[in-house]
Structure 1
Amino acid sequence: MYNKPCYTPNILDSKQGYKMSVEGVMVSYNYSDDGELANILTVSASGLKFSNRWVLTHGSILSPLKQANVIKNARGRPILNDEFYNDLPEIYVTCEKMPSKPPNVYEDVEKLSRERNLDNDIDFEHSSYQVRVLTGRICHVWQCPVLDRCVDDILYSWTIGHQDGDMEKQTRLGKALLSVFVLIDLEGDYRGLKTLRPLSELLDMVKPPPERGTSIQVHSTPFGCEAFLNAVTRGAVCGVIGKRPSLLLTDAATALGSEGGPVFTEGPNAELVGAVVCSVSWWRGEWVGLTLAAPLRAVLAAKLRVPPLHPPRAPASPLYSKILKIVDRTTMLVRCGAAWGAGVWLGRGHVLTCAHVVKNHASYKVSLYCQNKKETAMVRYKTKDDKAYDLALLYTNPDNWAHLIPAEFAEEPAEKGESVLAAGYPYFNENNLEDLKPTVTSGHINNVSHSMIQTSCCVQSGFSGGPIFRITKELKAEVLATIVSNAKAQTGASFPYINMAVPTRAFIRLIQHFILDRDESKLSSIENNKEIVESQWRLLPYRSKI
């Protein structure tokens, strides 16, 4: 939406030369039950190095070790016994190599020697060719109660990690380790209460968790490969879970091995706000697509048992905040039995959603949630099952929704390549609907026809019926389309970044006329019977209703 320059954390101190207070690193160790293979199989994660001596990483790095079962059975109690730590492997921390300060007296001679042997203009002094590997020991492992409660309340039906091997066993271990953090000492082997000092130092460096919509960067090393060392991906905070909060959702793309990577706000003065705790997860058989990050201020405050701090959160840009207020007062949660999705408030008591969201409306009531309000609705119209365009029109008492904003619809057609936002309700806590807000992801238009728009926004179950927004120069959020489905292969693999939506230009005039004159015969024209449109929307075997 807003194309900003890519910044990296400011690491240059003019008085002290290069001084990295927080640095993204790769954390690894050799692992094998067979001593001969110990130098072949490497387990790795990402991490953040701070104060030159300490590294914080995520508990997923311990998954192949027998100690992982000890953690799983500890149920949040601190692990302080020497036997646990003595059997842990030596840790390797791979960092980017910084120029030496002051210069080495032999550097000019070495540089001249290398230049004589160069066959081309490749700069082998570039940081991508220079790494340093440090060694350390794990000095403290603990489970964060804030994250642990989030796993129990919201992630209880999720699958953690890739879909290979024994899924049930893997998920149990993945959930047990999701709230675990690991502290590594690069200089000594201190444990117990002494480890509280570096964690206290880190707490002083961490800033408040960012608001939804804030642009962020993730620094990580996916797949444990040095070629990807400290790679930077950009995105936005799509959702904030919990009042404290306990979890951040972001569409900054990551991959396995990114767990433990630091999360920074974006800007010339990038600030540390979190760490990746899950890069790959599945829910209801669908790849979630979003990265889960822990707000480090909440994690460290819980560990150090200091009173919860409530300073102002790192704000989103004022322009983005204005857009989110419009999105929040336009996009509703629609529930019908066990199914749910999103809806768009049209005004005068009418809500637009997908037909498959309210497929069972004859057996279950339809409920609407938005801005701390809950009301029932009736289905005025829905297209027949498996027919284009998979739309439904709901009606509720308009007096109860005076605080909402009727959606504005785009007059100009969508253009391939333009930036858009998607809004929906993939995750929410049944016991905390008061703070319910839509998850908002960003992307662009991949393809356009008169009957279908394809986007790269990350969507999954709970986005059906939600809007695709265009942001205008006047900072208006105009609805371009209604989300219907994402792509799903015959193997069951789901692709949240490939999704399909119905252009509002294909139906909005018919709905607007009905709202004015209540002539239901106009609504029947929404159901498109043209074979070319029907064939486009069959999408078999790649359709996955969400």
Structure 2
Amino acid sequence: MHIQNKIMEQAQDPPAPYLQMCTILACPRNAEGKTEGTTSGILIDPCQGLVLTHASLLYPLHEHFSPELLRNLENHGSSLVGTKLFKYHVDIEVTLPNMSLVDGGANKLVSNSDKSLYTVLSSSTAESVKSVGQYHGRVKLVFEAKRLKDVIRKLLPKDQWQFEQDDNGSLSIAENKKEIKKNEYFYYTLLPCFVLIKLTDYHPTHNSLIFRDAKDNKVGDPVEICATPFGSMSPEVFLNSCSRGIISKIAGPGRVLMMTDARCVPGCEGGGLFFVHKNKRYLSGMMIATLCWRNSEWVGLSLACAISELVGSLRKHALVDSHISPTAGMLDKGYATKIKTMLSMAVSISVGANWGSGIILDQHRGIYLTCSHVLKGVEYQKNVIVQNEASDEKTQSSIVFRSVPGRQFDVAVVQSEVTVHDTPGWEKHIVFEYAEPVEGEVVFVVGYGIFRHSFGRVPMVNRGIVSKVNSVNGVPIMVQTTCAVHAGVSGGGVFNIHGQLVAMVICNSRDTASGASYPHVNMCIPIATLAPTLNKYLQTGDETVLQVLSTKNKQIKQLWSMGTEDYCSIMSRM
């Protein structure tokens, strides 16, 4: 009972900004059949009763669009205030947390002094007071964020990316493909678009949101998504659920597009992405896509648009004014420094049209560690190009060592023809620090996943934990993590919270029957196991010491082949 009371005392009301997070339902009144759209949203201006959400709310309603809607978006960047949006009247219902149940409210179900199950069950008001409040609204404006549109067209081309999963079992294969193609057109067209809703029966309240300027967002920043999984399906259960992660990638002019590894599921589009610092939450962005496939492979990351970009776009199209509060430098300097160190140790390694990632072993001499399969197809020793985020310069490199395909360690060492200290902008030296992997510890994967170096010099960062360490005769041989790992990350580093190198990424897992990949289940080589050999080479320069990494071991090979004979195929997946 003492333990139970201790847990109860720790329960807190939701943070004030989350009381302005909501879910939205849009349903045509006179349309044939039941068609409705649903998303999360933000009560962006509680004084005027204005709600902002993503245009995924409109995806299921595209059959009911007025012909002028898409035309006006294309020509003017907005639906134009006062123009007809739909063929039929569309009912809009917005669900927000019930303010009367928040700290100090008169209708609290359970007092702070007695939160036992008996009290809840015996309360006469337990079923009469709902945890949510519902309001009616109307669509005031549909508008696009121009800079978001530009970066999406460049970075996420329609022929390679998909943002919704469509499958209609009632249609033939040909009809289903045609339907999917038509739907994808609307999804992609509306991806950089947003919807402003005016609540018609909402009483003005205080604004608790503090906006964060896009220029202050950085890769590695801790963030929290507050949104409603599955939208309006069951808001009393799912309303304003939270998930945490980090900003994995930032792209575009004005740092408009963000990728995060925080959990986000359908219905969370339109939800808030918050920067979290010292228990305060600053609205950094709005979620725009929760399901992302690239070339038919699930990415496992979610997309968000910087909130300052949306406010700027709103000011162009409507009379909406919101205060932007910069928070530059608020992130713990120690944490920020460690993230910066991790980023500085990553390099992009290109072989023709293909690329992978690498880890700096010796910055001064330009020596890098990567995967052997990253160098697949190299015809000449010097046909390897190395770049890192601190420089635009491309340096040709030679292969010092490359393990034989099919051996237990998929490892290669390359060295630049021009030493790093001769290249302007690169630091003189980075200390090669490593640590033993520990199951359950927080780790970061750093590499050039999905996008090669030419799409933004800063590599992608994803956070997770070490889910398992596999050993042979007491020696760590394989590290598994829950970080999202994508094509291009092979050879990238896995770092612990102290900034120490723990492992090198080899591949993620894949279902050989369906071809589907699982980014959050991946395999890496422990650096502590390679370190004695690598350090001996760095100290002596003797390339022959690296040959030990090509020795055969039946147990290790069986572990890495995962009980199959197709070891080479596994090594080349990334």
**TM-score relative to the length of structure 1:** 0.83
1:325-340 → structure 2 map (5 Å cutoff)? 325-340=340-355
Aligned pair partner of 1:535 in 540, 555, 558: 558
Contact 2:504 2:525 in 1 (8 A): yes
Tell me the equivalent position of 2:37. 43
Contact 1:262 1:272 in 2 (8 A): yes
Once residues 385 and 317 of structure 1 are traced to their aligned partners in structure 2, the CA distance between those partners, rounded to angstroms, is: 44
Task: Read off the aligned partner of 2:212 and give its amino acid letter.
Answer: K
Q: Residues 373, 90 of structure 1: CA spacing in aligned structure 2 closer, same or farther, 3 A cutoff?
A: same
Tell me the equivalent position of 1:276. 287
Task: Read off the aligned partner of 1:406 and give its amino acid letter.
Answer: I
Q: Give 1:263 shift.
A: 1.6
Q: Which moved more, 1:61-70 or 1:217-226?
A: 61-70
Matched, 1:292 2:303: yes
Tell me the equivalent position of 1:322. 337
Q: Give 1:297 shift.
A: 0.5
Q: Residues 68, 127 of structure 1: CA spacing in aligned structure 2 closer, same or farther, 3 A cutoff?
A: farther
Tell me the equivalent position of 2:164. 161
Q: Give 1:515 shift.
A: 3.0
Once residues 385 and 406 of structure 1 are traced to their aligned partners in structure 2, the CA distance between those partners, rounded to angstroms, is: 30
Task: Read off the aligned partner of 1:242 and give its amino acid letter.
Answer: G
Matched, 1:256 2:270: no
Task: Read off the aligned partner of 1:461 and give its amino acid letter.
Answer: A
Matched, 1:466 2:468: no
Q: Give 1:128 shift.
A: 11
Once residues 378 and 283 of structure 1 are traced to their aligned partners in structure 2, the CA distance between those partners, rounded to angstroms, is: 32
**Secondary structure in structure 2 of the residue aligned to 1:533:** helix
**Secondary structure in structure 2 of the residue aligned to 1:458:** coil
Aligned pair partner of 2:227 in 210, 220, 232: 220
**Secondary structure in structure 1 of the residue aligned to 2:51:** strand
Q: Give 1:422 shift.
A: 1.0
Q: Structure 1, unaligned stretches of length 5 or more?
A: 12-19, 109-114, 190-197
Once residues 45 and 416 of structure 1 are traced to their aligned partners in structure 2, the CA distance between those partners, rounded to angstroms, is: 37
Contact 2:490 2:506 in 1 (8 A): yes
Contact 1:344 1:407 in 2 (8 A): no
Q: Give 1:377 shift.
A: 1.2
Task: Read off the aligned partner of 1:293 and give its amino acid letter.
Answer: A
Give the aligned length. 508
1:64-213 → structure 2 map (5 Å cutoff)? 64-65=60-61, 66=63, 67=65, 72-73=70-71, 74-75=73-74, 77=76, 78-80=78-80, 82-85=83-86, 87=88, 89-99=90-100, 120=121, 125=126, 130-156=131-157, 157-162=160-165, 164=167, 166=177, 168-187=181-200, 205-209=210-214, 210-213=217-220
Q: Residues 365, 311 of structure 1: CA spacing in aligned structure 2 closer, same or farther, 3 A cutoff?
A: farther
Q: Give 1:206 shift.
A: 2.4
Q: Residues 384, 145 of structure 1: CA spacing in aligned structure 2 closer, same or farther, 3 A cutoff?
A: same
Q: Residues 97, 318 of structure 1: CA spacing in aligned structure 2 closer, same or farther, 3 A cutoff?
A: same
Contact 2:446 2:462 in 1 (8 A): yes
Task: Read off the aligned partner of 2:478 and give its amino acid letter.
Answer: M
Q: Which moved more, 1:239-248 or 1:505-514?
A: 505-514
**Secondary structure in structure 2 of the residue aligned to 1:426:** coil
Q: What is the root-mean-square deviation in Å for CA atoms of aligned residues?
A: 3.8
Contact 1:381 1:392 in 2 (8 A): yes
Task: Read off the aligned partner of 1:330 and give its amino acid letter.
Answer: M
Q: Which moved more, 1:331-340 or 1:140-149?
A: 331-340
Once residues 247 and 427 of structure 2 are traced to their aligned partners in structure 1, the CA distance between those partners, rounded to angstroms, is: 25
Once residues 33 and 230 of structure 1 are traced to their aligned partners in structure 2, the CA distance between those partners, rounded to angstroms, is: 30
Deviations 1:412-441 (A, max 9, x none): x312111111101124477665xx112111
Task: Read off the aligned partner of 2:355 and give its amino acid letter.
Answer: W
Contact 2:102 2:108 in 1 (8 A): no
Q: Give 1:215 shift.
A: 1.6
Deviations 1:272-321 (A, max 9, x none): 22110111101133211112111110222134249xx9956464321211
Tell me the equivalent position of 2:171. none
Once residues 326 and 406 of structure 1 are traced to their aligned partners in structure 2, the CA distance between those partners, rounded to angstroms, is: 9
Matched, 1:426 2:425: no
Q: Residues 311, 330 of structure 1: CA spacing in aligned structure 2 closer, same or farther, 3 A cutoff?
A: same
Q: Structure 2, unaligned stretches of length 5 or more?
A: 1-9, 110-115, 168-175, 318-323, 471-475
Tell me the equivalent position of 1:478. 500
Deviations 1:58-101 (A, max 9, x none): 00111122329865554262222633256351111112212179
Q: Which moved more, 1:413-422 or 1:252-261?
A: 413-422
**Secondary structure in structure 1 of the residue aligned to 2:20:** strand
Q: Residues 447, 158 of structure 1: CA spacing in aligned structure 2 closer, same or farther, 3 A cutoff?
A: same
Tell me the equivalent position of 1:408. 432
Q: Give 1:233 shift.
A: 1.1
**Secondary structure in structure 1 of the residue aligned to 2:463:** strand
Contact 2:148 2:252 in 1 (8 A): no
Q: Residues 530, 214 of structure 1: CA spacing in aligned structure 2 closer, same or farther, 3 A cutoff?
A: same
Matched, 1:59 2:55: yes
Tell me the equivalent position of 1:23. 20
**Secondary structure in structure 2 of the residue aligned to 1:99:** helix
Contact 1:420 1:443 in 2 (8 A): yes
Once residues 26 and 58 of structure 2 are traced to their aligned partners in structure 1, the CA distance between those partners, rounded to angstroms, is: 10
Q: Give 1:513 shift.
A: 2.1
1:444-523 → structure 2 map (5 Å cutoff)? 444-449=465-470, 450-472=476-498, 477-490=499-512, 491-523=514-546
Once residues 101 and 393 of structure 1 are traced to their aligned partners in structure 2, the CA distance between those partners, rounded to angstroms, is: 59
Kindly, what percent of the aligned residue pairs are identical?
24
